[in-house]
Structure 1
Amino acid sequence: MHVLWLVSMVLPQAALACGLKSASDVSGGWLTGQLTALQGRNDLQLTVACVGAHSPHPLCGEREGVAYRILPGTDGLDALLQEVRPDLVHLWGTEYAAASLLHEAALRRHLPVLVGIQGVMRDCAAHLCDGVPAPYCRSTPPDRLLDRIIPGALLDKLQARFDALAQSEAALLARSQFVTGRTAFDRRAVADLAPRARYFVCNETLRPLFYQGPLWQPRAFGRAPVLLLSQGNYPLKNLHTLLRALPPLLERWPDAQLRIAGWPPLDKGPLFRPLIDRLFPYQRYCRRLAAELGVADHIHYTGPLDAAAMRQAYLDADVFVLPSTSENSPNSLGEAMLLGVPCVASRAGGIPDMLTDGREGRVYGAALDANALSRALAEVLSAPDGGAGLGRAARERALHTHDAATNADTLCGIYTTILQEETR
């Protein structure tokens, strides 16, 4: 069977196959793992089309038995189907424009289309700015004028974008016949948004590097435990609540550190700081909140991390924190669990399907409850074994959930089932 994937980023394997300078697998995410697991199968011919402006012209190549296309935009999707002639189309993600266009083109050709749920944009849009004071969520006419000259991250602009993506997702799912997901949370969303679709369960295979090498070990951190947050530059990831959770922890562990993976907030010096503050209101809010709480000196940004550096960041932490206000099955949580890192996460979206409270980590209640988050972190940090037992249980579960061979077999079985149903 010949399956055409469409993804909204240029995967590292595609960059290499098409002669581009290798993209860091920071951009590939868990799709690199799923793709690696499928390479070389005798029952699957795979073409992967990546939409990304890495070249002004379409590119093509082949690597380890997989054919790749890199498309600079959404033009040419009909031509892609005509050229590739797949038996089935698999769309990874529900909200981006290319997915909707290829979905329509495939349906015109009576090709079966499998839609893969990643996040649920309706839920992301609903909770994007939870807990952020209203003044930071509203831009002024001067703000919007500056943003047109120097694009920033105005929260009302971001909210409008998320709302539009949620509408696009809903329209796509309403027309869908086959959907794959992995949590009770996304199953409920599909039942609501795609009531006529058949739902298949298939877990994620994560980046290969997280299945090998040394595992997390507890350490004697004394007064200075390290908390790790995988992303902190937009409000859905809920850095603001984690900041509020820090003061009680600092009373007990005065030298505790919060490390945040990724770029620090933009700062061009005091002359441009007022301009940057206007264009990046969430970063302004978090900086002011950290100063008010007296925790600013305990926060450190790592800069962007590739897979190897991110792996080491997990190993160097004493607990991984995921306080998001909306998630489906976050890759960062799966990666931390694979390494045996003790985890504390909010009870948002599909997180409870990945992590059982008290058995494999701590899952606290409302994402915005800073006191509950602080208590959960303190329980892990003060555990006699440093959280090692939770980490071992988390790894055992993650090895099952994210088993590469099992997930590859499951996905190919889904493809086969759909094609058999379409030929009846």
Structure 2
Amino acid sequence: MRILWITAMPIKNIASSQKLKSSGGWIGSMIHSLNNNKEVNKIQVLSIGNYKAFELIENNIEYIQIKAKGGVFSYNAKLKEKLDRYIDKFQPDIIDVQGVEFFIGNLVIDNKNKTKIVFTLQGLVSQIWRKFFNDIDVYKVIRFNTFRGLFLNDSLVKRQMKYKIRGENEEFLLKKGKYFLGRTGWDKFHCLGINENASYFYCGRNLREEFYTQQWEIKNVNRYQLFTTQAHYPIKGLHILLEAIHTLKKDYPEIKLIVAGKNFFNSKFIPKLKRTEYDIYLIRLIEKYDLKRNIEFTGWLNASELIDRLQKTHVFVCPSTIENSPNSLAEAQILGLPCVASNVGGIPTYVEDNYSGLLYSNNDYVELSCQINEIFQNDQLALRISNNARQAAQIRHDKENNAKDLFMAYKSILNEK
């Protein structure tokens, strides 16, 4: 079987050689597991984006980085020509397009070779854009004037509209496509709800290699230390977590939140210019509750740096207001961290409440603070959740089983007339 993957993110193998940041470590993990199958003859990965063209062959896998000046969210005739040439040259049996929000799918779905296409579902932008501001009073956020909003045409409202357009393209491909890969009850519900004739295949996601060999231990944690990631959009829910920390600080004045991501308190000229309205909203909230000493922003972390931080964490929190299958939560679980997460989207597929984690109602910071406090107060609960989460994650993210499921999905698609 000859397999072609098309993705809109830099692949780790290429990114590391060009000093690019890549969030797609799971892609490399899955490809390597798939490549071990003796029935797989060749794998080619096309990575498309506004970065330097590059090619690399590693372990008989071809990685090709294609520069797309016009981006991947609108029709690009030159990119279509390039993709047609690569497909014609490689002659794949099946094409796996990572994500339906990108216009890449539109460019290959009617390829002249009639190669079968399967779409791997990601975040379901068609649902995310509707929750972009969620419980926040929009006017309390957009009233802040920013350089990027006024002069770069990159306000939060503008971003929401971009998500809306991507969501419309996603719904178009969900209706037009036939084969889809997903991993949560939520993405299956929305996929089949939009296209009742679609063929949906479950396939768990592999995680970055480094997370399979490490384990969290309660004896190593910094007590009352929380960890969360990606706090740059309202949908990531940092404002809700800040409200919860304000409540908890009364009993735990030493409480600490570690945020993996940019430090919007950075007062240097360029970082200040890059602030969004939401960044300023968070700054005001932190100042209002006097939380600046209780929060640390780490900047971007690689896998080993992230693991080091997580192993010192008392509770991992996923406060997102909408998510499908957050890798950050999965990585925390496979290490064995006690996790508290919002009961939204596909998260209940990953967290069974009071078994492999604690759930709270979306936007309810009082319930969130209570769930965090439960773990702070009860080491036996923390250890029970830790063990259950790790066992569940090891099964859900088993590399060989996931690769086998993916291959069998491909095989079923190819055998279908």
Task: Report the CA distance between 1:54 and its aligned residue.
Answer: 2.5
Partner Cα separation in structure 1 for residue 307 and residue 270 of structure 2: 35
- Which residue of structure 1 aligns with residue 218 of structure 2? 218
Shift of 1:69: 1.4
- TM-superposed deviation, 1:194: 2.2
2: CA distance between counterparts of 1:216 and 1:95? 35
1:134 partner letter? V
Counterparts in 2 of 1:13-412, with a 5 A limit?
13-15=13-15, 20-21=17-18, 23-24=20-21, 26-44=22-40, 45-55=42-52, 58-73=53-68, 75=79, 76-104=82-110, 106=111, 108-138=112-142, 147=149, 149-150=151-152, 152=154, 154-213=155-214, 215-219=215-219, 224-265=223-264, 267-269=266-268, 276=273, 280-365=276-361, 367-385=362-380, 387-412=382-407
Inter-partner Cα distance in structure 2 for 1:15 and 1:160 = 29
1:107-161 CA distances to partner (integer Å, 9 max, x unpaired)? x432111011011112211111112222245479x868x6464465x21011111
Inter-partner Cα distance in structure 1 for 2:406 and 2:270: 51
For the 8 Å contact 1:40–1:65, the answer to whether it is kept is no
CA deviation string 1:312-364 (max 9, x = no partner): 11111101000101111111111001000000000010111111111111011
- TM-score relative to the length of structure 2: 0.91
Q: How many aligned positions are there?
A: 405
Deviates more, 1:115-124 or 1:340-349: 115-124
Name 2:6's counterpart in structure 1: 6
> How far 1:247 sits from its partner (Å)?
2.0
Conserved? CA contact 1:14–1:50, under 8 Å: no
Return the letter of the residue paired with 1:103: I
* 3-state secondary structure, aligned to 1:414: helix
Checking the alignment, whether the CA contact within 8 Å between 2:149 and 2:276 is kept in structure 1 is: no
Query: Percent identity at matched positions?
Result: 27
| Partner residue in 1 for 2:71 | none
> Structure 2 CA distance, aligned partners of 1:174 and 1:182?
19
Q: Give the residue type in structure 2 aligned to 1:174.
A: K
Secondary structure in 1 aligned to 2:416?
Answer: helix
Amino acid at match of 1:227: L
Q: Distance in 1 between matches of 2:381 and 2:19?
A: 39
8 A Cα contact 1:136 1:282, kept in partner: no
One-letter code of the match for 2:262? W
CA RMSD of aligned residues (A): 2.2
Note the C-alpha offset of 1:249.
1.2
Q: Decide whether the 8 Å contact of 1:205 with 1:402 is kept in 2.
A: yes
Whole-angstrom distance in 2 between the partners of 1:198 and 1:49: 24
Determine if contact 2:7/2:98 at 8 Å carries over to the other structure.
yes
- The alpha-carbon distance between structure 1 residues 254 and 143, as it changes in their structure 2 partners (threshold 3 A), is closer
CA distance in 1, matches of 2:379, 2:238: 28
Deviation at 1:266, TM superposition (A): 6.0
TM-score, normalised to structure 1, is 0.90
* Structure 2 Cα separation of the partners of residues 209 and 255 of structure 1: 31
Per the TM alignment, residue 238 of structure 1 is displaced from its structure 2 partner at its CA by 0.3
How far apart are 1:263 and its partner, in Å?
1.4
Take 1:130 and 1:15, find their aligned partners in 2: how far apart are those partners? 34
Distance, in Å, in 1 between the alignment partners of 2:338 and 2:190 is: 29
- Take 1:369 and 1:171, find their aligned partners in 2: how far apart are those partners? 34
Structure 1 residues 221 and 341, CA gap change in structure 2 (3 angstroms):
closer
Moved more, 173-182 or 288-297: 288-297
